[in-house]
Amino acid sequence: MAPFFQVRAKLGPVIPDNSIPMLQLLSPDGTYGVPKEYAKYGEIIDSISEDTLLAMYRDMARIRRFDIEAIALQRQGQLGLWVPAIGQEGAQIGSGYGVGPNDHIFPSYREHGVALTHGVELMSILKMMRGVNHGGWNPEETRFHLYAIVLASQVLHAVGYAMGVKFDGKVGTGNLEEDLAVISYFGDGATAEGDISESLLFAAVNKAPIVFFIQNNQWAISSRVDTQTTVPLYTRGEGFGVPGLRIDGNDVLANYAATKYHMDQAREGAGPVLLEALTYRIGAHTTSDDPSKYRDEEEVEYWKARDPIQRFETFLRRQGINDDFFDEVKIAGDALAADIREQTFALGIPPLENIFNHVYSEEHPEIDRQKAWLKAYEEKMGSHE
């Protein structure tokens, strides 16, 4: 009998069209150069200190080590699920550094690197993936909002937030203590949602201070990007009046420069922009996915050779950074891995009544009723420990 589900034939490797213009400052072999049409982005890199460059590298290495450890923890039954972002560290750390201290970030569910750059405790992400918290961090403190699983929903929230910022008069006043902009992350697959079109339109007509940041990692689970769009994604906003730019997503400096430039512009009142970071998901969509069923190893190898961390390391070594630094980063990574393992193994079972927290911001009779029901039920059944 024919199997109920058939795996569709693979369509051959997704190799990007290199004739499409793209902001790249670090070439895959680690050589730095600023094409003249991109001079304004090069100027931003001119003013980065060496300390910041090293901090960026540390964060890229740190988040990759965290990611590898989280996959292992999931395989050992310590997490319900993990969502790897290996290969996307250039896009995430670079853009994260480009977001200003008052700005608000509306992520999807894979932005662990961006979270790191804005002070989210990494353990809170693991707790969420273990199912012992509701999303973990406080968006008011971090300005990094909660992960959104419903594709593109966060982009509508971000546009609404940015419109509010505009209506509150916190754009383009010149007061850098008060003015702010918004950035929202989403994937190539999410661009096919109607919510994205609505977001682009509302942002454009309201001249909202927002940067739309697509991480085009070329796959939406098993759907290739070329089944989601016939035009480069950075052009998707044009019909709505939102200009776009494609960035080499594996070039941390290009991501930093473009995000900083356009967040500054948005904060000053220039309106929305769409950035498409062309990158690649080296690993599985989640730990529940087996990408070997739908894509070729040849394609993965193409992208591994364009690894964002390796590229940046080559650049830094040419700048005179030596083994001492890279050894220190490796030791710190091992210490981080040991620490999160220990903390994850030590996580207990949270009180069951936590499920009621944050459903309403204030007391609510229906919640009181459900709490009373649960209490009576627990007393009848005994402890759940």
Ligand X SMILES: Cc1ncc(C[n+]2csc(CCOP(=O)(O)OP(=O)(O)O)c2C)c(N)n1
Min CB(94)–ligand X separation in Å: 17
For ligand X, the closer of residues 151 and 183 by Cβ is 151
Q: Does the active-site annotation cover 8?
A: no
Min CB(150)–ligand X separation in Å: 5
Q: Which residues of 279-315 are buried (b: 16+ CB within 10 A; e: fewer)?
A: bbbbbbbbbebebeebbeeebbeebeebbbbebbbbb
Q: Does the active-site annotation cover 130?
A: no
- The answer to whether residue 26 forms part of the interface with ligand X (CB under 6 A) is no
- The answer to whether residue 154 forms part of the interface with ligand X (CB under 6 A) is no
Min CB(222)–ligand X separation in Å: 9
Q: Of 355, 383, 309, give the one whose Cα is nearest residue 30.
A: 309
Min CB(174)–ligand X separation in Å: 37
- The answer to whether residue 73 forms part of the interface with ligand X (CB under 6 A) is no
- The answer to whether residue 92 forms part of the interface with ligand X (CB under 6 A) is no
φ, ψ (nearest 5 deg) of residue 347: -70, 130
The footprint of ligand X on this chain (CB under 6 A) covers a number of residues equal to 14
- The answer to whether residue 84 forms part of the interface with ligand X (CB under 6 A) is no
Min CB(218)–ligand X separation in Å: 8
Residue of 285, 295, 306, 311 marked catalytic: 285
For ligand X, the closer of residues 220 and 273 by Cβ is 220
Three-class SS state of 211: strand
- The answer to whether residue 220 forms part of the interface with ligand X (CB under 6 A) is yes
Residue 144: DSSP 8-state: B
φ, ψ (nearest 5 deg) of residue 26: -115, 120
Q: Where are the beta strands (DSSP E) in 10-127?
A: 104-106
Q: Which stretch binds ligand X (CB under 6 A): 67-75, 126-134, 183-191, 292-300?
A: 183-191
CB closest to ligand X, residue no: 187
CA-to-CA distance for 10 and 293, rounded, in angstroms? 8
Which residue in the set 166, 285, 295, 306 belongs to the binding site for ligand X (CB under 6 A)?
285
Q: Where are the beta strands (DSSP E) in 7-108?
A: 104-106
- The answer to whether residue 217 forms part of the interface with ligand X (CB under 6 A) is yes
Which residues make Cβ contacts (< 8 Å) with residue 336, sequence separation at least 6? 62, 65, 66, 69, 122
- The answer to whether residue 190 forms part of the interface with ligand X (CB under 6 A) is yes
The residue assigned the tokens 């109607």 is 194
Q: Does the active-site annotation cover 281?
A: yes
Residue of 262, 281, 295, 311 marked catalytic: 281
Site for ligand X in 223-242 (CB under 6 A): none
Min CB(363)–ligand X separation in Å: 32
Using an 8 Å Cβ cutoff, are 263 and 213 in contact? no
CA 129 distance to own-chain centroid: 16
Tokens of 126: 């693991």
CA-to-CA distance for 302 and 13, rounded, in angstroms? 9
- The answer to whether residue 111 forms part of the interface with ligand X (CB under 6 A) is no
Tokens of 10: 């693979």
Residue of 267, 294, 295, 311 marked catalytic: 294
Interface residue list for ligand X (CB under 6 A): 110, 149-151, 187-190, 217, 219-221, 281, 285
So which residues are the catalytic ones? Answer: 281, 285, 294
